[in-house]
């Protein structure tokens, strides 16, 4: 019985350590999204990350997003586009949880695999998105899903 309690404690410690590692890996993520309309008006749009750094967003990438989002949605479209990499039952999947991001990815790239209101991508489908949106998309890592 004593061994079981010790094992559970070790498991909790391992989960906590893993959570801290994932948090460290995700420090590059934007502290707060900015709206597409606002960023399109700037000469050198940037996003402030959780790690305190400021990252430049390429104007041509914002213009590509704008081409694939209705004009009346620009002031409600958050940048960056978040691609959440998850380990699910030993498989890697990418979730696009934000509905506006999912609509954009569907229109711009043709991916339309929605499960429980989440756009689900396979790793090979993330490549074209990241190539087109090197600075306007971010990959978030989630191993506890």
Q: What is the DSSP string of 36-102?
A: HHHHHT-SS-EEEBTTS-EEE--HHHHHHHHHTS-GGGGGG-EESEEEEEEEETTEEEEEE-SHHHH
Q: What does the mean pLDDT of the chain come to?
A: 88
**Tens digits of residue pLDDT in 88-144:** 788 899 999 999 999 999 999 999 999 999 999 999 999 999 999 999 999 998 865
Domain carrying residue 104: 2-142
Residue with tokens 């790793």: 123
Q: pTM here?
A: 0.82
Handedness of CA 25, 31, 32, 38 (dihedral sign): negative
Q: 20 — phi, psi (to 5°)?
A: -65, -35
Say what the pLDDT of residue 10 is: 73
> How many domains, in total, are found in the chain?
1
Say what the pLDDT of residue 27 is: 75
Contact 120, 143 (CB under 8 A): no
């Amino acid at each position: 019985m004593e061994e079981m309690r010790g094992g559970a404690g070790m498991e909790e410690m391992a989960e906590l350590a893993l959570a801290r590692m994932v948090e460290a890996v995700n420090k590059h993520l934007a502290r707060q999204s900015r709206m597409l309309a606002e960023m399109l008006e700037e000469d050198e749009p940037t996003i402030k990350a959780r790690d305190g750094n400021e990252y430049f967003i390429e104007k041509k990438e914002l213009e590509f997003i704008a081409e694939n989002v209705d004009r009346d949605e620009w002031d409600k479209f958050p940048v960056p586009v978040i691609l959440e990499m998850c380990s699910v039952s030993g498989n890697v999947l990418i979730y696009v949880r934000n509905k506006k991001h999912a609509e954009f990815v569907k229109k711009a790239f043709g991916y339309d695999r929605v499960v429980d209101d989440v756009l689900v991508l396979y790793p090979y489908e993330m490549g074209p998105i990241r190539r087109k949106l090197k600075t306007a998309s971010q990959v978030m890592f989630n191993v506890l899903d």
